[in-house]
Chains A and B, each alone.
Chain A
Amino acid sequence: MDDHLTPTEERDALAAELALGLLEGQTRADALRLSLSDPAFAAQVAAWEAKLAPLHDEWANAQPGAAVWSGIERQLADAPTDKVTAIEMRLRRWRAGALLSGAVAAALAFVLITQPVPTPTPAAPQLAVARIESDAAGPLVLARYNQSNGLMQLRIHGFEPGTLAPELWVIPEGGTPVSLGQIGHAGEAEMTMPPPHRLLMTEGATLAITMEPVSKTPHPAPSSVAVASGKIITI
């Protein structure tokens, strides 16, 4: 193009384009992926949404049919909110009181959840954990990964069953997301990681979840922003 934007302007224009919804196809997928892996870019997108927000005054109202609310109620009916809230509260209290390093706290928090009766666990080298969560109440996934045999175990809470399925991504530091496939809405899941993916499960990499159309094979790129994310901590 003959516009000669500086890299900074280029990045900001991309954020504006994503906020405005002008992009499609691969360009859109790439921009969404960037907003997932780069908090600074995500903040730029949010800033553009805020700039344009006064336009929201101009929409014409319209009445939806009554079926919409019954559909919402149906989807909420079997959400395991109470369980998640209880776990969240236990964790918050626990974190607040713990004068331990983040890594140890996260590891013990995981033990706290996976083992209702807190018993000491034998030293487990080669173990990685991640707490994949949203800012507040919402989906929560606890991941535990054994680097010696590639076994990944998940505890999944708080996803609403619906047309979209949660898909798990690993994002290496400074890299792009790689799909680990779709997971259930609730309960426990485990899988043995394929060897190429094991290399990505390193300290500081991010695990994130996006809601994607149901697919038996992993998507090449996320189509929306993460609903939950968390860093991998090795212990």
Chain B
Amino acid sequence: MDGTQWSSGADEARAQLTAALTAVGRGDRAALRQVYDMTAAKLFGICLRICGERASAEDVLQTVYIKVWERAGQFDAARASPITWLATIARNGAIDWRRSVAGRTVHDTLPEQAAFAVADDSPLADQSLVAAEEGEQLHRCLGELEDRTRLCIRAAFFDGSTYAELATRENVPLGTMKSWIRRGLLRLKDCLGDG
């Protein structure tokens, strides 16, 4: 599915998406459909991974595109790539849902096995979407962290796990988990440099 949407080249795809998003910011509904067609599979992948089941993920995806419609006027192509901007809205929307009463209730009933699927630590980067250098630097800096810290940070990012969930899974006290991750994040920041 990936290949077809972006095969015309990363820059061209990014330019098309930027143009469509800018048009959405002006209130162009046809452009929203275009943004949806170009990105729904990606954003649904995010919602599905974090929500853990289709029905909720589809509800969240719907609210995500309504937010995109409302906020597209704030998108600044000079500051963020369009796909990063969209993915951040989708991920935050899915996390909001997970932290809501409904999200916690649904999530608690899901089978356990889906939970630590993120233990795969091998970045399979589709470099067409995000600038390659930034990705390399982040992966290098993540690679300098202790394995367990890196895996927990990745689980937080990809599964939307909380401190408490990570502590339970790793079988360590909550304070220990917080300490691992906080130290890891501050080291990560040092490594990335202030920028």
Contacts and interface: CB of A to CB of B under 8 A. Distances in A.
Contacts of A224: 96
A181 interface: no
Contacts of B154: 55
B36 A72 contact: yes
A158 to B, nearest CB: 8
Nearest to A14: B182
Given A20-B153, A22-B163, A57 B129 contact: yes
Contacts of A123: none
Given A55-B157, A76-B29, A62 B182 contact: no
A224 B185 CA distance: 23
B12 interface: no
Given A13-B185, A58-B123, A134-B73, A68 B62 contact: yes
Contacts of A57: 123, 125-127, 129-130, 135
A1 B129 contact: no
Contact of B44 (A17, A64, A81): A64
Interface residues of B, number: 80
A60 B114 CA distance: 14
Contacts of A93: none
A16 B152 CA distance: 14
A117 interface: no
Given A56-B84, A62-B48, A64-B61, 5 more contacts: A55-B154, A63-B1, A64-B40, A69-B33, A162-B63
Nearest to B136: A54
A9 B186 contact: yes
Interface of A: 1-3, 5, 9, 12-13, 16-17, 20-24, 28, 49-65, 67-69, 71-72, 75-76, 81-82, 85, 134-139, 158, 160, 162-164, 213, 223-224, 227
10 contacts: A3-B179, A5-B182, A13-B182, A16-B182, A21-B156, A53-B81, A136-B25, A137-B26, A158-B70, A163-B63
Interface string B34-63: 001000111011101100001001110111
Contact of B61 (A68, A76, A85): A68
B16 interface: no
Contact of A59 (B42, B58, B162, B163): B42
Contacts of B95: 21
Interface in B109-131: 123-127, 129-131
A71 B157 CA distance: 28
Most buried by B among A12, A20, A54, A68: A54
Contacts of B44: 61-64, 68
Nearest to A225: B92
Nearest to A59: B45
B186 A76 contact: no
A21 B160 contact: yes
A75 B147 CA distance: 45
Contacts of A138: 70-71, 73-74
B2 interface: yes
| Most chain B CB within a 10 A radius of its CB, from A17, A52, A76, A158 | A52
B144 to A, nearest CB: 14
A54 B127 CA distance: 9
Given A160-B69, A162-B63, A223 B96 contact: yes
Contacts of B33: 69
A206 to B, nearest CB: 18
A147 B27 CA distance: 37
A219 B127 CA distance: 43
A95 B71 CA distance: 22
Nearest to A61: B41
Contacts of A13: 182, 185-186
A50 B131 CA distance: 12
Interface in B60-90: 61-63, 65-66, 69-74, 80-81, 83-84, 87-88
